[in-house]
Structure 1
Amino acid sequence: MNIKERYLEAKKDYEKFGINVDKVLEDLKKVKISIHCWQGDDVTGFEVSQSELSGGIAATGNYPGKARNAEELRKDLDKALSLIPGKHKVNLHAIYAETNGEVIERDEIKPEHFENWVNWAKEKELGLDFNPTIFSHPKACDGLTLSHPNKDIRDFWIRHSIASRKIGEYFGKELGQTCVTNLWIPDGYKDIPSDRLGPRARLKDSLEQIYAVDINKKYNLDCVESKVFGIGAESYTVGSSEFYINFAARNNILSLMDTGHYHPTEVVSDKLSAMLLFNEKLALHVSRPVRWDSDHVVIFDDELKEIAKEIVRNDALDRVIIGLDFFDASINRIAAWTIGTRNMIKALLSAMLTPNELLKKYQDEGNFTERLALMEELKTYPMGDIWNYYCEKNNVPVGEAWIKEVKEYEENELSKRN
């Protein structure tokens, strides 16, 4: 059988549960994943005076062919996007500004430094998201930024964050797609602090100044990202989950949950339903922690599938903003983007092909036997045939065929980079 015939046969297995598979594929195509640009250059950025990675950020490996400038990075993204079904967004950090060789401090970045990105996004019909880069900088070298005791340092990062929000607003206006501007800081202490309240009070004050500047929510949505610990901040993190959840709720901005930013025994899939009860919208950074926040490439594992199920069965596809955040320098970077993004979409498809209402009914009735039995049987249903048809329908390679394209791109493009 060909791909279409396999699809038509597979549909029957799902239609017996009342699932309209054709509509599922139509709805899936509307979901935009925010694909992080920093996988393509190991979070290096293109500042004229680059700083070494700091703030708990580490990209391990030295696979050849990483992007050395914005033109190469966009070219690599073009290749990855050609292998991923659907139309999506690209997520930028402030360090990806293009300043034509001029040294521009981060508190002086402007929309004009991202014009090339906007023009590219318009051409490709993509949205853009944004992040202030509050790490890998001399003013972040001691691990403190917006919570720093030195007011001059805090003020520098406040100005940078405000400038970043204005760039996010510019993206939204130019592209007709609301930009999500996410703020994360590495602030914390390696050893047990003698003052936990003071740094958090300073961070609260800094954030209040940042978000006091009026930015049109039609064009830009703000969010804040927590973390349980980081390299150099093992004992205390200023921007904890409790801090940011409360700050976001009080200031009417979004909470962003990164799947690697919690204790190893915690899972974001379990948190989504609780957060959705009290928030109109949420944001995610999906990565794969291995023992700690190691940002491995997203695979089609149980937690990814559970995250997708929680989004779909709670009717939250338009309420949860899905972004990716991994960076692996040990494998081909275009392959990393492709693997991770296709798996995120695949997980959503799997969730949308699940008879969620029937499983909820079994649970409410206390029919745990049939609930477990059906959940297990569904694991071997022919979702792969539905996925392959979806890829073919979206004019991207089916199955493992994309690997050949990445190898050819590596031979023709990446291998020529020093």
Structure 2
Amino acid sequence: MTKLIEQAFDLAKQRYAATGVDVDQVMAQLDTIPVSMHCWQGDDVRGFENPNGALTGGIQTTGNYPGRARNAVELRADLDKAMSLIPGAKRLNLHAIYLESDKPVERDAIEPQHFSHWVEWAKRNKLGLDFNPTCFSHAKSADGFTLSHADKGIRQFWIDHCKASRHISAYFGEQLSTPSVMNIWVPDGMKDLTVDRFAPRQRLASALDEVISEQLNPQHHIDAVESKLFGIGAESYTVGSNEFCLGYASSRQTALTLDAGHFHPTEVISDKISTAMLYVPRLLLHVSRPVRWDSDHVVLLDDETQAIAHEIARQKLFDKVHIGLDFFDASINRIAAWVIGTRNAKKALLRALLEPGDQLRALEQQGDFTARLALLEEQKSLPWQAVWEAWCLRHDVPADASWLSEIRHYEQHTLRHR
């Protein structure tokens, strides 16, 4: 099989060279582009603060596939298995509820020490870590409001939680020598008709200003704010709307998070990237698959995933766009979900990098839209799969679906015993 892959790769290099694309250069660039995997796929967004607690904030996980990680040791083992089957650079995105402590710790009192084992693991695996305050599934978010809460005491609790989270994020960046992107998403909103839509947004803006008031080293920490169209229980009014978050990120020059599932079904984030980059210094992307709005299905190599990758590559935004994943499916093997979704994200990036971007841009500038369309279509049938398989071999991971047998073995010998 290896010999066949190498032969196909040699032919593919020649085909791409004819279009002006240096495949070796593309593979070298792909090596430098990490995808931040999300820890919450491995345990259905339960975390370790209260693993048996109910999910709130418009979040639901469906299915009960055997083998959910019950603690950090199991979750890290599952991540090790998944990452061993995924080529190229990777990161891990943690939520605050994935802390480790011998005794209960309130969210406004979390500290770097509660994540020291994650940092040790990341160092061993040469990974960067990203972070998120967890503003859901808590008694003080039960009425649907956190950072925009009318009660000053509750609002201050969440402000303090986000401040503590920033220190943890900066700790990650300092320890791992790569900036941690900390994403702030709040579930705040109302289920039914809302009279005063202005005051909660005033409070949210003020609260966020207090959260980010302390200057942290940008080499260690990056702030991001994430919008949403609506959530379960907030169908009529979402405080942190797209307009709010775009306005906040542009006026405060934080990063803006675009989640593929957080918009109307007729909207796509690939079309929003170029607009947002006019006004914000950085973007964080949560690549997901919304089947029915924000349903967070496993990422496929579908049109929108490919369009996202193309937009980043065509505008040369790899130094300004951070790519993360966000899905949680408990109806299938959770580790396989990680592998499928992350490999698909990387396939999309490879295909985007293999595009003769300069040639296509020149044709567009010349007004030769016929040639532009012809080349875009011919590009789809070039042998990118041969390049993918060769790249997998270079990273010593399965080049085809044979990775599934390793997942099955791990399922039978590890997951089934949980």
TM class by smaller structure: over 0.9
Q: Which residue of 2 aligns with 1:71?
A: 73
SS in structure 1 of the partner of residue 310 of structure 2 = helix
Give yes or no for the alignment of 1:268 onto 2:250: no
Q: How far apart are residue 198 of structure 1 and its match?
A: 0.7
Contact 2:181 2:223 in 1 (8 A): yes
Distance 1:54 1:148 in 2: 16
Q: Which residue of 2 aligns with 1:3?
A: 5
Q: Which residue of 1 aligns with 2:40?
A: 38
C-alpha deviations, 1:249-295, integer Å up to 9, x for none?
A: 22221111111111111111111111223333211111011121000
Contact 2:191 2:237 in 1 (8 A): yes
Consecutive unaligned residues in structure 1, runs of 5 or more: none
SS in structure 2 of the partner of residue 349 of structure 1 = helix
Give yes or no for the alignment of 1:20 onto 2:14: no
Describe how 1:226-375 pairs up with structure 2 within 5 A: 226-375=227-376
TM-score (norm 1): 0.98
Q: Which residue of 2 aligns with 1:109?
A: 110
Worse-superposed segment, 360-369 or 324-333? 360-369
Contact 1:59 1:329 in 2 (8 A): yes
Give the letter aligned to residue 406 of structure 1: I
SS in structure 1 of the partner of residue 92 of structure 2 = strand
Distance 1:48 1:261, change over 3 A: closer
Q: How far apart are residue 360 of structure 1 and its match?
A: 1.9
Q: How far apart are residue 185 of structure 1 and its match?
A: 0.4
Q: Which residue of 1 aligns with 2:179?
A: 178
Contact 1:286 1:324 in 2 (8 A): yes
Q: Which residue of 2 aligns with 1:140?
A: 141
Distance 2:163 2:294 in 1: 28
1:93 to 92, 95, 99: 95
Distance 2:321 2:209 in 1: 24
Q: How far apart are residue 303 of structure 1 and its match?
A: 0.5
Q: How far apart are residue 50 of structure 1 and its match?
A: 4.9
SS in structure 1 of the partner of residue 294 of structure 2 = strand
Distance 2:300 2:209 in 1: 37
Contact 2:69 2:75 in 1 (8 A): yes
Aligned-residue Cα RMSD (Å) equals 1.1
SS in structure 2 of the partner of residue 340 of structure 1 = helix
TM-score (norm 2): 0.98
Distance 2:205 2:166 in 1: 17
Q: Which residue of 1 aligns with 2:215?
A: 214
Q: Which residue of 1 aligns with 2:85?
A: 83
Distance 1:403 1:248 in 2: 41
Give the letter aligned to residue 195 of structure 1: D
Q: How far apart are residue 353 of structure 1 and its match?
A: 0.5
Consecutive unaligned residues in structure 2, runs of 5 or more: none
Give the letter aligned to residue 36 of structure 2: S
| Number of positions where the alignment pairs a residue of Structure 1 with one of Structure 2 | 416
Contact 2:389 2:400 in 1 (8 A): yes
Contact 2:119 2:175 in 1 (8 A): yes
Distance 1:212 1:50, change over 3 A: farther
SS in structure 2 of the partner of residue 322 of structure 1 = strand
Contact 2:108 2:157 in 1 (8 A): yes
Distance 1:279 1:356 in 2: 24
C-alpha deviations, 1:362-383, integer Å up to 9, x for none?
A: 2222322222222222211111
Distance 2:393 2:277 in 1: 34
Give the letter aligned to residue 18 of structure 1: G
Distance 1:67 1:383 in 2: 35
Distance 1:42 1:119 in 2: 24
